[in-house]
Structure 1
Amino acid sequence: MDRKIRCIIVDDEPLARKVLVKHTEQIDQLEVVAVCANAVDAFCHLQKGNIDLVFLDIKMPKINGLELLESLNPAPLVVFTTAYREFAIKAFELDAIDYLLKPISMGRFMKTIAKANKYLSGQSISQPQQPSKVASETSTSAEPEPLYIKAQRKIIKLDLSHITYLESLNDKVIIHTLDNEITTSQRIGHFSEKLPKERFIRIHRSFMIAVDKVSAFNSIMVEINGKELPIGRNYRSHVLDILQNTSD
C-alpha cells in the first residue's frame, strides 16, 4: 500500500493508549487520526469516514468494543487490543483481522501491521488466527505463565493480566484483581521474585503494582482503579523511571 494507513486508537486506559501511540510512532506508514477514550468518541470519528484501521479495546464503559464494531456498516479493519482472552471467538466472528493481548510487544504489533497492509493492498493472505492460536502465540510472546497462589486452603490459578496491585497487611498479602480480592499468607517478597519484573514493580514496602493498570501518577503516588497508592521514598527513583518511560 503506497499511502499511509489512517488509524484510530480506542481504549479507556490512558497507559494503554500511550503504549499504542508509542508503537505507531515507530512505523512511518501509520498515521494516527484520533486517540479516543471511549467508543462514542470513536464512533463519531468513524462516521466521518476515511479510516483504514482501528485498534479497539473491548472492555470499556457504556459501549464496549464488540458492540461498537457491530454498529459499523461498513467497518474498517479492526484489531482488538485487550487483556482478556475470552472474547477471541466473538472477535473473529465479527471479522477482526487480529486479536492482541496486552501487554502488546512491538514485535507482535509489527506482525499485525504487516497483515493489515496486505488486506489493504488486496493481497491474498491466510485466514486470521483462530482463538486457540491467539492463546498459544501470546502466551509465548507476551503473556507469562499464570500465578499459583496458596489461599483458602487450596491452590488458586490466577491470570496475571487480572492483577491490579498487591497489598502487604500484617502477615498477609491481599492480591487485588479486576473483580476480586484474594488473601494469602505468602509474603510480598515472594511475589517480588515470582512476578515478571517488566510488568510488576514494588513501589512501597507494602505495595506492588501492575504497571499497565496505572491510570495516573506523580512523585508521591500512583492511581489504580481510582485508588491512590503511596510511593515509598526508597523506591521513588526506580518507580518514576519505569512509569515515565512507559508513558513517553
Structure 2
Amino acid sequence: MKCIIVDDEPLARDVLEGYAKQMDQLEVIAVCANAVEAFGYLQKHKIDLMFLDIKMPKINGMELLESLNPIPLVVFTTAYREYAIKAFELDAIDYLLKPISLGRFMKSVAKANKFLNGNLDPDRLASPTETISKPTLSDEPELLYIKSQRKIVKLDLSEISYLESLNDKVIIHSGTNKINTTQRIGYLAEKLPKKQFIRIHRSFIVSADKVTAFNSIMVEVNGKELPVGRNYRSQAMEVLQDRAK
C-alpha cells in the first residue's frame, strides 16, 4: 500500500514514518508538514492510504479530506477525542489517539489491507466508540509527547514518577530528570492512560507503579509525600486499594 503521512509536528511524523517502515505492507511515498502541501501532492499522485492529523495550521485535516475527490482511505492520527464522530462521518477507516503505540498502528494497517483487498465490508468499519473506548493494557500507549522549550519531547511512560503543576507550568518527574512544559495538567491527564496514572490532587498526577505507600491524605512516590486532594480522594483510593489487593 502506497501511503502518505500528513502532520505538522516533526516528531509525530518521524514516529509514524518509523512505524510504517517496519511494515512490509506499506510504502511511504510522501511525508507532508501541512494540509496545503498534502493537497498539492495528492493532485498529482495516487495513494492507497493516508495517515492524517486533524489540528494543523491554515487548513485542518478534516477540511483537507473534504476538499479531495475521490477521498482516499484515511486513518486519522490526533491527540483529540472530540473529532471522532465527524471523522467517521467522513468514512475514515480508523481513528488513532496520540501517543500512538506500534501495536495500535499495526491494527489500522491490517484493517486498511483487508479493505483494499475486498475482505472488509465498508459498512462495518469500527464506530467511533469502538475505536476510542477505554483501551486494554496491551493497547495503552507507551510514550508521551510533550511541548518543552520549543521542542517536542518524547517520554517513556514507564519512567515517569509524577506530574506536578506549579504556577504556569507542569513539571514532569521522569527518572532523575525534570521536564518543564506549559501544557496544562488537565490536558496531560487526558493523554495519559487511566490505568497507569492517577490524579490525586489538582496539582499532582502519580504513576501507580511508582507509589510505595499511601493513606487517605497522602501518596508516597520516590520518598516524597504528595497530598491527596479532597475532590480526588475517593477515586484515587479506590484505584490504589484495588491495586494493593
Q: TM-score range by the shorter chain?
A: 0.5 to 0.7
TM-score (norm 1): 0.60
List, as ranges, runs of 4+ consecutive aligned residues in structure 1 with deviation greater than 2 Å.
137-140, 160-169, 172-182, 193-197
- Residues 142-178 of structure 1, C-alpha deviations (whole Å, 9 max, x = no match): 369xxxxxxxxxxxxxxx9897567775xx6733326
Deviation larger for 129-138 or 53-62 = 129-138
Q: Contact conserved, 1:173 with 1:187, CA < 8 A, in 2?
A: no
Q: Contact conserved, 1:79 with 1:99, CA < 8 A, in 2?
A: yes
Following superposition, the deviation at residue 135 of structure 1 comes to 2.3
What is residue 207 of structure 2 aligned with on the other side? 194
Match of 1:79 among 75, 91, 104: 75
What is residue 169 of structure 2 aligned with on the other side? 174
Is the partner of 1:9 in helix, strand or coil?
A: strand
Following superposition, the deviation at residue 130 of structure 1 comes to 1.3
Gaps of 5+ in 2: 149-162, 171-181, 189-200, 211-245
1:36–1:195: structure 2 CA closer, same or farther, 3 Å change rule?
A: farther
Distance 1:81 1:96 in 2: 11
What is residue 140 of structure 2 aligned with on the other side? 142
The aligned runs of 1:1-248 (5 Å cut-off) are 5-125=1-121, 127-138=124-135, 140=137, 141-142=139-140, 164=147, 174-175=169-170, 176-177=182-183, 191=205, 193-194=206-207
Instruction: Report the AA paired with residue 69 of structure 1.
Output: L
RCO greater where, 1 or 2, for CA within 8 Å and sep 6 or more? 1
Q: Contact conserved, 1:23 with 1:109, CA < 8 A, in 2?
A: yes
1:162–1:35: structure 2 CA closer, same or farther, 3 Å change rule?
A: closer
Gaps of 5+ in 1: 145-159, 198-248
Deviation larger for 29-38 or 160-169 = 160-169
Following superposition, the deviation at residue 196 of structure 1 comes to 8.7
1:110–1:59: structure 2 CA closer, same or farther, 3 Å change rule?
A: same
Following superposition, the deviation at residue 12 of structure 1 comes to 0.3
Q: Contact conserved, 1:164 with 1:178, CA < 8 A, in 2?
A: no
Q: Contact conserved, 1:6 with 1:30, CA < 8 A, in 2?
A: yes
1:43–1:196: structure 2 CA closer, same or farther, 3 Å change rule?
A: farther
**Aligned-pair RMSD on alpha carbons?**
3.6
Following superposition, the deviation at residue 187 of structure 1 comes to 11
Following superposition, the deviation at residue 129 of structure 1 comes to 1.5
Q: Contact conserved, 2:100 with 2:141, CA < 8 A, in 1?
A: no
Q: Contact conserved, 1:24 with 1:32, CA < 8 A, in 2?
A: yes
Instruction: Report the AA paired with residue 177 of structure 1.
Output: Q
Q: Contact conserved, 1:174 with 1:181, CA < 8 A, in 2?
A: no
Q: Contact conserved, 2:165 with 2:185, CA < 8 A, in 1?
A: no
